[in-house]
Amino acid sequence: MPVNRLIVIGFLFVLTGAVLPFLIVIGIVESTFFLNFIAFATSTIGVFLGVLGTATYVRHRRHQDKWHNP
């Protein structure tokens, strides 16, 4: 999977994990245990994917710079 796609998917998960509680608080969506769990899980998974994608990107760039700039 391309690193850029991993970072974008992580961002979308974090955004979903932030928007769902906001919709619950303002009363558009009814609060249920399942929906609260989904909001928490998407936010946590999104942060994990974002950090993983960023670390992979940095590792790839450092490896590329090492061979191109002696």
How many Cα atoms occupy the beta-carbon half-sphere of 18 within 13 Å? 8
* Residue 29 pLDDT > 80: yes
Q: Is residue 29 part of a domain?
A: yes
* Residue 57 pLDDT > 80: yes
pTM (predicted TM-score): 0.82
How much is the mean pLDDT over the chain?
91
What is the total count of domains within the chain? Answer: 1
Q: Residue 31 sits in which domain range?
A: 1-35
8-state DSSP, 27: T
pLDDT value, residue 63? 78
In this prediction, residues 31-55 reach a mean pLDDT of: 95
| Radius of gyration (C-alpha) of the chain in whole angstroms | 17
Q: Is residue 10 part of a domain?
A: yes
pLDDT value, residue 70? 58
* Residue 28 pLDDT > 70: yes
Residue 29 identity? V
